Amino acid sequence: MKVCSAAGCDVGMDVDLQELTIVHYPDPCLRKVCEPITRFDDDLAAFAARMIELMHAGKGVGLAAPQVGILKRLFVMNATGEEGDDCVFVNPEIHDMRGNKEAEEGCLSIPEVYVQVRRALRCRIVGQNLAGEPVEVDLEELPARICQHETDHLNGVLILDRMGPGDRIKVRKRLRELEAAYKSRGSR
């Protein structure tokens, strides 16, 4: 797996799953396009399980691999918050987007920022599961929104790129705070 670094997010190294944490804006790995996953093994399953733990700990409904510094095309989600409703999508692609609705979104990588984002009401997600088997699911409403949000992460796109001018003004101060905190921590 590739672990993101401040030097360009392309450092290959072994990953200690317990050391993974959610990275915050403006970490550069949030702006990178992720690579497809080609190896389906126990390490991938363990990585997905750790991501699910982090998603639940952060009280989120979705989490993409670049949000933990891994530049691979995988995300986890749980639209209901119920145990047993966790889903993992590997190498996902969004198809057949229909309708649209604007709604408030937040992001575990941009804490305390909530903006209005227009998304398709319905979509089909095509990808693979943790065994590498094909998966195709039709989604609507919140699950469709989550899949679009997380797939954006895999392409280096943030909710900040989709917000309107009013939200841009509203969140400007918080973004400056996140930028200052990132700068004071230095590179990862």
For residue 23 the two structure tokens come to 């990275």
91 near 67, Cβ under 8 Å? no
Whole-prediction pTM: 0.91
Looking at residue 186, what is its pLDDT?
77
> How confident is the model over 167-182, as pLDDT tens digits?
999 999 999 999 999 9
Q: For the chain, list the domains and their CATH numbers.
A: 2-185 (3.90.45.10)
Which residue numbers are catalytic? 150
> How confident is the model over 102-128, as pLDDT tens digits?
999 999 999 999 999 999 999 999 999
> How confident is the model over 138-170, as pLDDT tens digits?
999 999 999 999 999 999 999 999 999 999 999
